[in-house]
């Protein structure tokens, strides 16, 4: 996994760290290196109830992937993480998958 300069990777909750690990393996299975583009740092356009400042959300880049892989990788990460996680393809500020933890830890 690459980490975009300026991204705060520290103090992410274990639920997100483990999700990033699994997501990264899925990228690699398709021959791509995943880049973390957002963690806990402040960013323009965050919603008030964003889980980013709590360390319970992360964004990973999709703009380097061929178009056909965006949805495929999204679906595979969703299946790997299960219903405790919410994932969404977003177009701004650059194409990425937003992942946050909604559920209850085991
Ligand atoms: Zn996000």
| Ligand 1 mean position, distance from CA 29 (Å) | 23
Question: So where are the chain's domains?
Answer: 13-44+52-84+91-101
Instruction: For residue range 54-70, list pLDDT tens digits in order.
Output: 999 999 999 999 999 99
DSSP letter, residue 91: -
Query: 57 φ, ψ to 5°?
Result: -145, 155
| Ligand 1 mean position, distance from CA 38 (Å) | 7
- Asked whether the predicted pLDDT for residue 79 surpasses 80, the reply is yes
Smallest Cα–Cα separation from 61: which of 29, 23, 21?
Answer: 23
- Asked whether the predicted pLDDT for residue 106 surpasses 60, the reply is no
Cβ atoms within 10 Å, residue 2: 13
pLDDT reported for residue 64: 92
| Ligand 1 mean position, distance from CA 33 (Å) | 19
In the chain, % helix, strand, coil (3-state, to 5) comes to: 30, 20, 50
């Amino acid at each position: 996994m690459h980490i975009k300069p300026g991204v705060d990777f520290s103090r992410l909750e274990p639920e997100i760290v483990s999700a990033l690990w699994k997501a990264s393996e899925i990228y690699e299975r398709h021959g791509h290196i995943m880049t973390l583009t957002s963690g806990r740092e402040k960013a323009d356009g965050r919603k008030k109830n964003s889980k980013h400042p709590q360390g319970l959300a992360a964004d990973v880049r999709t703009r380097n992937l061929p178009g056909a892989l965006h949805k495929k990788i999204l679906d595979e990460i969703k299946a790997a993480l299960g219903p405790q996680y919410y994932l969404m393809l977003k177009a701004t500020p650059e194409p990425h998958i937003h992942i946050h933890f909604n559920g209850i830890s085991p």
